[in-house]
Structure formats: C-alpha cells, structure tokens
Amino acid sequence: MKIRTGFVSNSSSSSFILFFDREIKIINDLKESLGDINTIHERWTGEIEEYSEKKILESILENIDNTDESLIEILSNDNVEIKGFDEDLPEYAYEKQDWAEQEKKFLEYGRRKMEFMKKKHQDKFIYTASYSDQDGTFGTFMEHYFNWGNIKVIRISQH
C-alpha cells in the first residue's frame, strides 16, 4: 500500500474550446454571442451565490485565448476526441529519456487535430479558456456550472 504524505490536492480544472460566430474583442461581442447567461449558483451547502453578468463577462474576456498554441496544447491531450478525426494517438514513452520526443509527437498530433478542427469549423472563431475550482467559488462556478449560452463548447475536464 502507498501512503501519500505532504500536500494532497483534490482540485480540478477544465479547459474549454469555444466556437463563436464573430471575433471577440470587447464585452459587448461576448454578451451578444452568449445571449442570456446564468449568474446564480446554488452550492452543495444550499447557499446561493450570485455573480454579476459584468464580472462573468470580464472574466471570460480576460481568459479567452485564440492562439494556435493554446488550442494545440488542449488538443494534444489524449482524452479529446473529435468526430471525423481518425488518426491514432502517438505511443507513450515509458523511458524518461524518451519523454521530450514523446511531447513533440503529441504536440504535432495536436497540431494536426487543430488543423482538422479549423477546417471543419472554418466559419467560426475558435477560442480556448480554462477555469479551476482552485480559484475559489467563482472558479468552481465557471468550471462546473456556467452555461455558455448560445455558443458551441467542448469541455475537457482534468480531474
């Protein structure tokens, strides 16, 4: 039996791939794209928390990223499946000296996935965002309970 000592975390985080019909530059772009959003969260304790629409939209605007690098990082993860992308995942390296080469293979795999996704959704502006319950109750709300409204979203959970 293994016993873990020191700091043990039970936190989670989620990455989101967001598909917008327009480029997002300002809060009004977000507001118009998302439509009505939920601002109330009932915690497991029964306590009700409400966040202002402004706080939510500012957080999203601050967190979204439309760089290829952010999308590749998410798509190189082995638990992100994209319908129609049939390429096999690279093999895992079991020796420490092979890990750097493995990372390159996974990033290239993520790049090919990204190119496939962008071609499939060429009429969309694709962004990424990440939230974690380690960021307090607001982070938990955004990670687990926020409804992204009118846009298509892929959520990748890292528990």
pTM for this one? 0.85
Cα 70 to Cα 15: distance, rounded to the nearest angstrom: 10
Residue 54 in this model has a pLDDT that exceeds 80: yes
> What's the number of domains the chain is made of?
1
- Measure Cα distances from 58 to 1, 19, 31 in Å: 47, 18, 10
**Does residue 85 fall inside a structural domain?**
yes
**Does residue 12 fall inside a structural domain?**
no
**Does residue 109 fall inside a structural domain?**
yes
The answer to whether residues 148 and 19 touch, using CB atoms and an 8 Å cutoff, is no
Nearest by Cα to 143 from 159, 127, 132, 129: 132
**Does residue 110 fall inside a structural domain?**
yes
Q: Domain span at residue 49?
A: 20-158
Residue with tokens 């039996």: 1
Cα 51 to Cα 15: distance, rounded to the nearest angstrom: 21
pLDDT of residue 9: 55
**Does residue 40 fall inside a structural domain?**
yes
Per-residue pLDDT tens digits for 17-45: 999 999 999 999 999 999 988 888 777 77
Give me the chain's average pLDDT, please: 87
**Does residue 149 fall inside a structural domain?**
yes
**Does residue 122 fall inside a structural domain?**
yes
